[in-house]
């Protein structure tokens, strides 16, 4: 994929070294892409779910790992739910690099997972604000820069298997990720004539800190050991293993390449076939 060399990518939610965003950043860097990594970098005492939010020192470390691949890198703090933050982020990227060719909307969280009848409205709104509104705001600000460059572009939006296989207690997360699919398909039609493709990726069970947190919650809800929950999850994946962040990163790299120029408005599950499984959740003990 040598056609990626010299392009500039912006990746949100890339502040965790073991996360999907960091894996995407490193994968693109190895293709010669200059990479901007962003994250909320919320203070530890904030109400942001820590498993899904990188801290500034870790974001800087990810940027250093990117730079070690021989490309330029830039770490930026940005709250994707705030229009001015997103506008400032894009302005800083344009000032530093003069272009944006790739946008990967990877930032994602879930606040207060609970049954719908017990879910707090604030938790619902905060989850949708990051996962859906954040994608909208980033696309809204980056597209003019791509259009001005007159060289097309690639937008990759991170949805989830939860969008097509929702699970109990995660209605806000599932709804937000389904919204990402609808946004992707609508936007793809709007910008196709300008050579900008827009696609969504639906990760399944990917071995990250965020997934570990989710398995721990499931363990507590169903009164089972973490190991039992982990093994049951793996048993529902036809390929017989958890996904790795690199599995997602490889698909992103392909969708960013010229080889994927005729693909837009599509959804790509990266699940090991997990959505094909119909194994039910256990009852609470």
What pLDDT is recorded for position 83? 98
Q: Catalytic pick from 169, 173, 230, 268?
A: 173
DSSP H helical ranges for the chain:
20-30, 56-67, 83-97, 121-128, 134-149, 171-191, 209-222, 226-235, 245-256
What pLDDT is recorded for position 201? 98
Tens-digit pLDDT string for the chain (285 aa): 568 999 999 999 999 999 999 999 999 999 999 999 999 987 666 666 655 567 899 999 999 999 999 999 999 999 999 999 999 999 999 999 999 999 999 999 999 999 999 999 999 999 999 999 999 999 999 999 999 999 999 999 999 999 999 989 999 999 999 999 999 999 999 999 999 999 999 999 999 988 888 888 888 888 899 999 999 999 999 999 999 999 999 999 999 999 999 999 999 999 999 988 765 555 554
Cβ 36 vs Cβ 74: under 8 Å? yes
Distant-in-sequence, close-in-space partners of 235: CB < 8 Å, separation ≥ 6: 279
**230 assigned to active site:** no
Tokens coding 141:
């600000």
Residue-range domains of the chain with CATH: 2-204+244-262 (3.40.50.720), 206-242 (no CATH)
Cβ 58 vs Cβ 17: under 8 Å? yes
What pLDDT is recorded for position 58? 94
CB atoms within 10 A of CB 154: 26
Cβ 204 vs Cβ 270: under 8 Å? yes
What pLDDT is recorded for position 104? 99
What pLDDT is recorded for position 42? 72
Q: Is the pTM of this model over 0.75?
A: yes
| Torsion angles phi and psi, residue 197, rounded to 5 | -100, 150
Q: Helices then strands (H, E): number in the chain?
A: 9, 7
What's the CA gap between 73 and 65, in Å, rounded?
9
What's the CA gap between 201 and 180, in Å, rounded?
10
Q: How many CA atoms lie within 13 A of 228 on its CB side?
A: 11
Q: Which of 101, 209, 110, 182 is nearest to 149 (CA)?
A: 101
Beta bridge partners of 267: 200
Tokens coding 165:
């296989």
Distant-in-sequence, close-in-space partners of 125: CB < 8 Å, separation ≥ 6: none
What pLDDT is recorded for position 180? 98
Tokens coding 6:
């010299």
């Amino acid at each position: 994929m040598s056609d990626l060399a010299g392009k500039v990518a912006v990746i949100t939610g890339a502040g965790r070294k073991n996360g999907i965003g960091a894996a995407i950043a490193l994968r693109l860097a190895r293709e010669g892409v200059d990479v901007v990594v962003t994250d909320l970098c919320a203070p530890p005492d904030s109400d942001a779910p820590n498993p899904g939010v990188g801290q500034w020192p870790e974001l800087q470390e990810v940027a250093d790992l990117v730079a070690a691949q021989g490309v330029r890198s830039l770490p930026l703090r940005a709250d994707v739910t705030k229009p001015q933050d997103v506008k400032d982020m894009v302005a800083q990227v344009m000032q530093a690099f003069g272009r944006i060719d790739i946008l990967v909307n990877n930032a994602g969280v879930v606040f207060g997972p609970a049954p719908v009848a017990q879910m707090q409205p604030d938790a619902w709104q905060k989850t949708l604000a990051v996962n859906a509104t954040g994608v909208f705001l980033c696309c809204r600000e980056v597209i003019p820069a791509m259009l001005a460059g007159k060289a097309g572009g690639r937008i990759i939006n991170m949805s989830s298997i939860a969008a097509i296989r929702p699970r109990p207690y995660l209605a806000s997360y599932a709804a937000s990720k389904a919204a990402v699919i609808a946004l992707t398909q609508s936007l793809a039609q709007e910008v196709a004539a300008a050579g900008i493709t827009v696609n969504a990726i639906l990760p399944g069970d990917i071995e990250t800190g965020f997934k570990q947190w989710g398995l721990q919650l499931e363990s507590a809800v169903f009164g089972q050991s973490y190991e039992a929950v982990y093994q049951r999850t793996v048993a529902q994946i036809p390929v017989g293993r958890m996904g790795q962040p690199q599995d997602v990163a490889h698909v992103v790299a392909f969708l960013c390449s010229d080889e994927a120029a005729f693909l837009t408005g599509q959804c790509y599950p990266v699940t090991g076939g997990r959505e094909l499984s119909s194994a039910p959740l256990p009852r609470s003990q």
